[in-house]
Structure 1
C-alpha cells in the first residue's frame, strides 16, 4: 500500500469556480509523474529500429563512430590540394589523375599539378583537401581549367566527425523517435534502442443517452463520438489504450468502471459526468476512491474539468494509483481540454520531454466577442496573405457541441485569460493543428 499527500490543497489560493488555465496546467504538470507511477513507467525495453518510431528513448544514444567516418566530397567535382591556389595564376590547370567514386576510392596520391575526378560522398584522396564543383571547370581531354577565384582552399569537403563525433550524444533520453531519427540511428550502425514501455491509458464515456456506432437511435439518444476522438488523440501520442466503452449513469456502473480502469492503467480519462447534474456520480465516488485537485477551470470550451488521483484499493490511499482526468461531455470541449491540459501530462508520464504547442502570431480579420476572466480556444481557419503574414478567421458558431467546427478548422485561436473583445485587425495567437492533432 502506498500513500501520498492529497491533491486537494493545490487550489487553495484560487477561486474554485475560476481556476486559470495556466494554474491548472501547472498543477497537472506537478502531479504528472507521482512517485507511485515511476516504477511502472520507468521500465524499459529494447526494440529494433522498425519498431522504434514514436517511442520514447530511455537512454541517451551515444555515437559509436565518427559521422562522417572519413573526409569526403560534398559535391561532384575535382579534388586537389588547396595550397596550389596560393601561387596559381588567374586560371589554374590540373591534370586528371583518376576518379574517386562513393565506395570506390582513388588509390594513391595525386602529384603536384594533378587532381582527381570525385563524386559526392567519395573518400577524399590522400593529399587533397579542396573540391572545385564540376560546373565551374572546363575539361579538355585529361585536364581541367578553372578560375582560382572559383573555390577557396578547404572548400566543399566534409570532415570526419563533422556531423557527429564518436562518443558524443546523438539523441537524448526523453526524445520521441521521429522518422529522421531512424535514419540517423541506422547511419551509426545501431540496430536497436532502449525505449520506455508505453503508458497505459483507460478511457470511457458516460451517459444513458449515448449509443455506440451501429446501434439504432431512439428519441433523445445520440451516437458517442468522444471515445473515437479520444482513441485517435491517444494513439497519436503512442500510448496503449484500454477502451471501457459507454458507462451508464448509475453509481454501481461508474464505480466498477473506475476501479477496473485504475487497476489496469496509469491514467484514466472519462468524458461526461463531471458537471453538476443530478445523475453525475463522479464527484461522490471521487470522495471515496480518490482525491481531486479541481473540478472547474476558467476555460471555454471545457469549464467542467476534473483532475485528481484514483486508487484501486477499498478506499482512497490504498492499492495502486492512477491519475484521473474527467473531461466534459461536449465533443469540442473534450478535444480542447485534452490538447491543452491532458496531452502534456501524458507525454511527461511516458518519459518524453514535452514541448509546448507552437504558437504563431496572426491578424484576426473579424471581431470576436470575448469575456475577460477565462481563456478561450476558438476554432479558426488560418491563411497567409501575399506578404506571407498569417491571418485568421473563426469557423463560425463556437458552441462546444459543434464538432464539425474542429474538422473545418486548421488551428485554435487562443484568447488569453485577461483579454476581452478582439477587434478586427488585432493580433492574436494561433496554435496550428498540424503537428498537434
Structure 2
C-alpha cells in the first residue's frame, strides 16, 4: 500500500500552497523495495549500502601497450644507448598464467593485462623500437621472431621508474569498501560500478508508475483534424513528459470526454498499472467539471479511507486542486486544473514531490535560489495568493517571460524558472531580490 488517507477539509476552506503540499507528502508513502537486475534498476533508489566483494582493479595491470620490465634493466637507457632485452613472451588481457620476467628480460604486455611476476614497471611501446632490436643482427632477429612475437629482442631507449604505467590492485576500490550508500539514485556510472564489483542484481525502490490522463470533449489528439471549437491535447503530453523527467515510468492515456461514467471506468481500468494517477481539467465549479463530478465521492461507501477531495488554494495559477486516493490499494490521485500553465505549475509544486517521495528520495523538491528581478516594470500580484510567474534565470538574475495568463504555452516553453511572489506582496519592483524555483 503506497498511501494513507488524506485529511478532510472544512467546506469552503482556502488552503495555502504549503498546507496542500504537506497533506500530499504526509499521505504518500515510498514504494516497497524489490530486487531488480542492474539495467532494470536504472533510475531507482538504492535501499542498501553496497560493499565491494573484490578490489578494483582486482590485480596490478598495465595502463599501456608496451613491455613489462625490471627497473634496473632500463635505468640507463637512452636513444643513443638503448637497453636491449630478451622478449620472453606476450601477456594479454585475461591472461591467467603470465610469463616470469627475469634480469635482462621483457614481456610484451597489452593494456589491462596483469603485470607478470618479476616485472616492476611498464615502458610504453613508443619508448622502444617495437621489438626489432639493435645493431647488424636486428633484421635477422626480427625475422626469427615467432608469429605471435613471443620471442626476440626489444630495444628500450628511455628509463622508467618503479610501477610506471601500472594500475595498482585496489587503486580504485579495495575489497570491503562501501562503494554506494542507500539513497543513491542509480545512473549509468553507478550501474557500471555495481557491475564492476560483480553485482548482477540490487535492492531498490522501483520507479513509480504514473498514469496521466486529461479530460475535455474539446480535446483533439495531435495530427488529427482540428475542427471549430476544438483544441489539441497538450496537457497529457506535458504531464507525462514531466513525470518521466521526475523519475517515473509514465503512461499517457488519451483524452477522456466530459462524461463522469466514462472517466470513472477509464480510471478503474488504469489502476492496475498505477502507483499514482494524475488528471488535468474538470476540477473547477463549472457545469462540465467531470473530474469533480466523477470522483468527489469515489470509494466513500465501499472503500473506507479513499476518495478525492477538491480544494481551493491561495495560489495563482492553479487555484482549483483535487487530491485523494482511489481503488482497493488507495492509489493516490492528484487532479490538476485544465489550463496548460496551471497544470504544469501544479505538477511542479505537488506531483513531482509526490513522485519523488514514492521513489524514496529525501530531497523531493526543485532547487530554489534568490535572484535579482530584471524587468521593465514592476510585477503585480493578487493579495492573499502566492503567484508563480514564468521566468528565465541566468547568472543570479531572473526575468519574467510572457504574461500571467494560464494559457500562455509559448511563454512556458521559454521559461526555466518560476518567480515566486508571496501572498502578502502585491508589487515587486525591478531590482528586488525574489525567490526562483529552477525547473531544469
TM-score by length of 1: 0.70
2:25 alignment partner, one of 26, 29, 34: 29
Matched length: 399
Structure 2: gaps of 5 or more residues: 135-154, 300-305
Q: Which has the larger radius of gyration?
A: 2
Q: Which residue does the alignment assign to 2:197?
A: 188
Q: How far apart, CA to CA, are the structure 1 residues paired with 2:308 and 2:407? A: 26
Deviation at 1:120, TM superposition (A): 4.5
1:303 alignment partner, one of 311, 316, 319: 319
Matches of residues 8-407 of structure 1 in structure 2 within 5 Å? 8=8, 16-17=13-14, 19-21=16-18, 23-33=19-29, 41-42=31-32, 44=34, 46-47=36-37, 49-55=38-44, 62-74=51-63, 102-103=93-94, 107-111=99-103, 120-126=111-117, 142-145=155-158, 157-172=166-181, 175-193=184-202, 199-213=208-222, 216-236=225-245, 237-239=247-249, 241=251, 243=253, 245-248=255-258, 250-262=259-271, 265-280=274-289, 282-283=291-292, 285-287=295-297, 289=299, 290-291=306-307, 295-310=311-326, 312=327, 319-351=328-360, 356-359=365-368, 364-367=373-376, 369-371=379-381, 375-382=386-393, 389=395, 392-407=398-413
CA distance 1:4–1:159, shift in 2 (3 Å): same
Q: Deviations over 1:295-347 (max 9, x none)?
A: 2444443232222223x3xxxxxx43111101111112222222332123123
Q: Which residue does the alignment assign to 1:415?
A: 420
Q: How far apart, CA to CA, are the structure 2 residues paired with 1:301 and 1:30? A: 24
**8 A contact 1:377–1:412 mirrored in 2:** no
Deviation at 1:281, TM superposition (A): 5.4
**8 A contact 1:362–1:391 mirrored in 2:** yes
Larger mean Cα displacement after TM superposition, 229-238 or 100-109: 100-109
Larger mean Cα displacement after TM superposition, 344-353 or 269-278: 344-353
Q: How far apart, CA to CA, are the structure 1 residues paired with 2:437 and 2:85? A: 58
Residue 411 of structure 2 aligns to a residue whose secondary structure is helix
Structure 1: gaps of 5 or more residues: 313-318, 384-388
**8 A contact 1:201–1:268 mirrored in 2:** yes
Deviation at 1:403, TM superposition (A): 1.3
TM-score by length of 2: 0.69
Q: How far apart, CA to CA, are the structure 2 residues paired with 1:307 and 1:178? A: 31
Residue 8 of structure 1 aligns to a residue whose secondary structure is coil
Residue 123 of structure 1 aligns to a residue whose secondary structure is coil
**8 A contact 1:76–1:133 mirrored in 2:** yes
CA distance 1:246–1:169, shift in 2 (3 Å): farther
CA distance 1:128–1:341, shift in 2 (3 Å): farther
Deviation at 1:121, TM superposition (A): 3.2
| Mapped pair 1:431 → 2:438 | yes
Q: Which residue does the alignment assign to 1:386?
A: none
